[in-house]
Structure 1
Amino acid sequence: MLALWDTTGAEVVRKLAAERHSAGGVASGLALTLVVVVDEARVRGVEDAATIAAASHPCRLIIVSRALKNPHQTGTDVVDRLDAEIIVGGRLGPCEAVALRMHGPLAYHAESVVMPLLAPDVPVVTWWHGNPPDRIADDPLGVVAERRITDVSQAENPLAALRQRAEDYAPGDTDLAWTRITPWRTLLAGALDTSTAPVTAATVVGRLEDPRVSLLAGWLASRLGLTPTLEASSTGKLEQVRLRVGDDDLTLTRSNGTCLLTRTGVGDRTLPLVTRRLGDELAEELRRLDADQPYAAALSAATGVTGLSDRAAVRGLSQKAERRQATVKVPA
């Protein structure tokens, strides 16, 4: 690890190039650039998750921790400062990382440091590991990305944040709450794979404030053309899905890392349903860099916001963000 204190963006670029040259083939073959916006206290967790994801998707990891200040504030406490750490190979495996800690007005212009660090000729993914932004178009780190990952479970009001994701949606957006119901969707699709009878009713049992419950119900609604019933669970978790398939009842019930599949006239089956690590969830989202149409359909059904897939995939800075950029002058 190479630490640079009170440095400049140009110096970070130069030192990264030197570290990559020293590492030789270890730092070659990058599949993408992953930009992560995160609080300082959670940087190590991001590194651990990226290390797991990089086993399948070698990437350049750029971690951005921003100490935002009031752009109109004056005084000695507004200090423009950039600290950085560079890690190539080593404990991060096939991943090279630059951790950037920005203070003062520089925090409002994080893209001025990040852009020269993007790996050439590979896609850019931005992940907010924390409370997601109200509008991605207000954050230049989201505008530069082909794929944008949020996590509404980190918000103070996850359901309100989920609706905001629908209001702000553009093709290329996704959310880790959606990723976390992949095992449920896989089991449900498999259970219905051999059935020819229509599904006439569905019930999702879980904590009603859990965005996973809303998205799973939205996915069922978008795929089956019905309105699922939401039922509060006694455990506070996403606990059960019940379907009426023709004249049969099909139920998936979660229990201690497994799921019990029961169906009228068929013997019960126990299937795996484990809680995955954050790095495994991240790796799933890095497998595709195009628009996730099933997510858009589920998000639309869950929130009632329509026309998501018809929106433009290319984002630009909103007028609000442009005004903010114009009012903040970064010291040379």
Structure 2
Amino acid sequence: MIGLWDTTGNEVVKALAAERRSAGGVASGLALTLVAVVEEKKVREAEAAATIAAAAHPCRLLIVVRSDLEGRSRLDAEIVVGGRLGPAEAVVMRMYGRLALHAESVVMPLLAPDVPVVTWWHDTPPDVIANDFLGVVADRRITDSKLADDPVAALRRRADDYAPGDTDLTWTRITLWRTLVAGAFDTTEERVTGATIVAPPNDPTAALMKGWLQSRLGVEPVWEPTDRAPRMHSVQLQCANGDCVTVTRDEGTALFSRSGQEDRYMPLPKRPVGDELAEELRRLDPDQIYGDALGAMAGVPGLNARSPMRVHVWKDPALAARSGDATGAFAGPGGSAA
């Protein structure tokens, strides 16, 4: 590991190049650049998750930590190649003062050439992703509405701000649920006439499950709030012939029940964030099924028809505070404020 304190972006680029030469083959074959935007207290969590994801998708990991926007501009950096973060080339950058508002000035020269860029916010994402240049330059953008104060409201905000290429780890967390529910119809063509979801009232996974069922089956699922479980507890589907299919969470497994058949237990583990991140990195094209589910959940149609291109809308927190403007935003070159 190389530590650079009160340094410059140019020095970071040189140090990374030197480490890559020293590492040799460890640093070859990068699949993508993963830009992780995190707050200081979550840096270790982000590193642990990225280490798991990098095992499946060798990448250049750029962790951006923005701190103390009012202080003196300073850049501290740690460079790790083939070390504690596995096969990833990693640069952890702590940015202070006005530099934190212009993180792209340091990040852009560090992007691996000729590979896609994925930006992941392991923190509350900006209300408008175009306010963060690190999201504008990305081919894929990964948020996590679970980290917001109001996760369901955060998902609705993601629908309002959606552009093809966006995704949310809430969607990834229901992959196994969706697999179990879809698998129930491998041997039947019965039409689904109704659905019921039992979950806490502010569970974002239940909100997206509701949207997914609505977009795929054309039914309006009923959400029954419960305090019995901290997460989505069960999904029940009613079929036209009177059959009922139910998937119920039970301590890392799922009880699969269907009318006229024996009950079965299927795996339904709670996965670490690194596994969820690795799953999202498998695809670098827009996820249209997610777009349909998110749009149905939020009541915002046509998400997949939107342009995947974003125009940077500059937002200055200091300017907003002085002017009393809640946005403090104005467009970058070629764009208009939204």
Q: Identify whether the pair has TM-score above 0.5, normalized to the shorter chain.
A: yes
**2:87 pairs with 1:94:** yes
Q: Structure 1 residue runs of 4+, over 2 Å off?
A: 318-326
Matches within 5 A, 1:3-14: 3-14=3-14
Paired residue for 2:323? none
Paired residues in the alignment total 319
Paired residue for 2:322? none
**2:128 pairs with 1:141:** no
Paired residue for 1:74? none
Paired residue for 2:205? 212
Matches within 5 A, 1:299-310: 299-310=294-305
User: 1:236 Cα deviation (Å)?
Assistant: 3.0
How far apart, in 2, do the equivalents of 1:191 and 1:324 lie?
Answer: 49
Paired residue for 1:291? 286
**2:54 pairs with 1:57:** no
Question: Percent of pairs identical after alignment?
Answer: 62
Q: 2:234 aligns with which of 236, 240, 248?
A: 240
Task: Determine if contact 1:108/1:325 at 8 Å carries over to the other structure.
Answer: no
Q: 1:200 aligns with which of 189, 193, 196?
A: 193
How far apart, in 2, do the equivalents of 1:204 and 1:58 lie?
Answer: 38
Task: Determine if contact 1:67/1:102 at 8 Å carries over to the other structure.
Answer: yes
Structure 2 counterpart of 1:149, which letter?
I
| TM-aligned CA distance change 1:158 to 1:270, over 3 Å | same
Structure 1 counterpart of 2:237, which letter?
L
Structure 1 counterpart of 2:207, which letter?
S
How far apart, in 1, do the equivalents of 2:98 and 2:84 lie?
Answer: 33
How far apart, in 1, do the equivalents of 2:332 and 2:62 lie?
Answer: 22
For each residue in 1:287-326, what CA deviation from the matched residue of structure 2 results, as whole angstroms up to 9, or x when unmatched? 0011000100000110101110110001111265774879
Structure 1 counterpart of 2:202, which letter?
E
The CA RMSD over aligned residues, in Å, is 1.4
How far apart, in 1, do the equivalents of 2:165 and 2:218 lie?
Answer: 24
For each residue in 1:100-135, what CA deviation from the matched residue of structure 2 results, as whole angstroms up to 9, or x when unmatched? 000011111100000000000000000000111100
Matches within 5 A, 1:72-87: 78-87=71-80
Paired residue for 1:316? 311
For 2:78, what is the secondary structure of its paired residue?
strand
**2:45 pairs with 1:45:** yes
Structure 1 counterpart of 2:65, which letter?
S
User: Which one has more relative contact order, counting CA pairs under 8 Å at least 6 apart?
Assistant: 1
How far apart, in 2, do the equivalents of 1:285 and 1:109 lie?
Answer: 27
For each residue in 1:43-75, what CA deviation from the matched residue of structure 2 results, as whole angstroms up to 9, or x when unmatched? 1111111111111100000000012525xxxxx
How far apart, in 1, do the equivalents of 2:151 and 2:168 lie?
Answer: 12
Structure 1 counterpart of 2:174, which letter?
I
Matches within 5 A, 1:220-259: 220-233=213-226, 234-245=228-239, 246-259=241-254
How far apart, in 2, do the equivalents of 1:227 and 1:241 lie?
Answer: 13
Paired residue for 1:104? 97
Structure 1 counterpart of 2:238, which letter?
R
Q: 1:115 aligns with which of 97, 105, 108?
A: 108
- Which TM-score applies when normalising by structure 1? 0.94
How far apart, in 2, do the equivalents of 1:213 and 1:140 lie?
Answer: 31
How far apart, in 2, do the equivalents of 1:126 and 1:181 lie?
Answer: 21
How far apart, in 2, do the equivalents of 1:139 and 1:289 lie?
Answer: 20
Task: Determine if contact 2:249/2:255 at 8 Å carries over to the other structure.
Answer: yes
Q: 2:277 aligns with which of 282, 290, 300?
A: 282
- Which TM-score applies when normalising by structure 2? 0.92
